[in-house]
Amino acid sequence: MPEIHLRTSSSQPSPSPKVKSPPKPTSNPTPFSYHPSDDGTDENLLILLHGLGDTHIPFSKLGKQFKLPQTAVLAIRAPEQIPYLYTESYQWYPSFSPLGDLLTDPNPTPALTLLSTVLDHLTSPQECAWPLDRIHLFGFAQGGSVALEFGLRVWREREKERKKEEEKKENESEEMVKERSAPILTPPSSSSLGSIISISGPLLSYPTVPTPPGPSPTPILLVYRPPPSDPSLSTSDLTAIRKAYSNVREVRMPVKIQGTAMPSSREEWEGIMRFWSERLSRRQVEGVYEVLSGMNG
């Protein structure tokens, strides 16, 4: 694909280190490729999750082609080799029956457990020190499904932890509140990821969203070719995602019966780049990113 660039005219300050420590292979359960930001400021982290039967290598190259300002790129390989295949073909969770048929109700737990381990390493102040809301996911097909499921798990677990911490602080400050005219408030830390883009990847579950915590506020971009393109997203897929997430946007690409489900032209990538222009953070300069005109298709 052609190189696509963003220009930044805005930003917000960040307390996290300007240059992050790269992920350690010993702390990640599966192979990966990591590239720090080209401009020397690691303000955002884009994690790329490939589709069924692929590896992280093509997605690592794709992430570098984006050249997103102040954005490091981490491409992760799925943990499981597809059975009976001798090529480099991996799956995020068991996807086939013993007879080789695709499972209609797969269990993504292995992938979610792996990503939880990776996220703990990335967000640890003693290790990579990434703020949770500066981490963005981009997944294709099965990788997109994993990204959406993982975003929900992160939201629910972090909200539960945040509520417990708030209750603890409230209990500890009761005596202090009595002695002051007003309590000292500490802004809550983020409980959700910066954003998720799913290319033709539906949720595997059809959640009944509990209240609280309610739907996740993580911004979602769904990019897909309508049926009969395959893979695609059905009406029920879209309904389930909107039930699980409160901030969902769609980009519908032209139908293709044959060929790639990935965006394949400047026009098809433009909606993705604009979404990132609104979501990626920037140090010390005010404004937003803008998609540069004149890109070659």
Range picked from 142-146, 155-159, 175-179, 260-264 for highest mean pLDDT: 142-146
CA distances from 76 to 42, 60, 137 (A): 18, 8, 11
Dmax (CA) of the chain: 70
Mean pLDDT of 126-135: 96
**3-class secondary structure, 106:** coil
Least confident segment among 58-62, 115-119, 270-274, 288-292:
288-292
Give the model's pLDDT for residue 261.
85
Spatial separation of the C-alpha atoms in residues 120 and 27, rounded to whole Å: 9
What integer pLDDT is reported at residue 185 of this predicted model? 37
CA 2/CA 209 separation, integer angstroms = 40
pTM flag (> 0.75): yes
Domain 32-163+190-279 has CATH 3.40.50.1820: yes
Q: For all residues of the chain together, what is the average pLDDT?
A: 85
Predicted confidence at residue 295, as pLDDT, reads: 45
Taking residues 273-278, what's their average pLDDT?
A: 97
Alpha helix positions (H), 91-172: 109-123, 142-172
Question: Taking 80 as the threshold, does the pLDDT of residue 190 lie above it?
Answer: no
Residue 96 is given by DSSP the state B
pLDDT score at 184: 40
Q: Are strands 71-76 and 32-35 parallel, antiparallel or unpaired?
A: antiparallel
- Sorted by where each begins, the domain ranges of the chain are 32-163+190-279
Mean of the pLDDT values across residues 124-149?
Answer: 96
Q: What is the pLDDT of residues 16-27, one digit of tens each?
A: 889 999 999 988
What does the pLDDT read at residue 79? 94
Q: What is the pLDDT of residues 216-251, one digit of tens each?
A: 999 999 999 998 888 889 999 999 999 999 999 999
Flag whether pLDDT at 1 surpasses 80: no
Q: Where are the beta strands (DSSP E) in the chain?
A: 6-8, 32-35, 44-49, 71-76, 80-81, 90-91, 135-140, 195-199, 220-224, 248-252, 289-291
- For the stretch 81-105, pLDDT in tens is 998 887 889 999 999 988 889 998 8
pLDDT tens per residue, range 27-45: 889 999 999 999 999 999 9
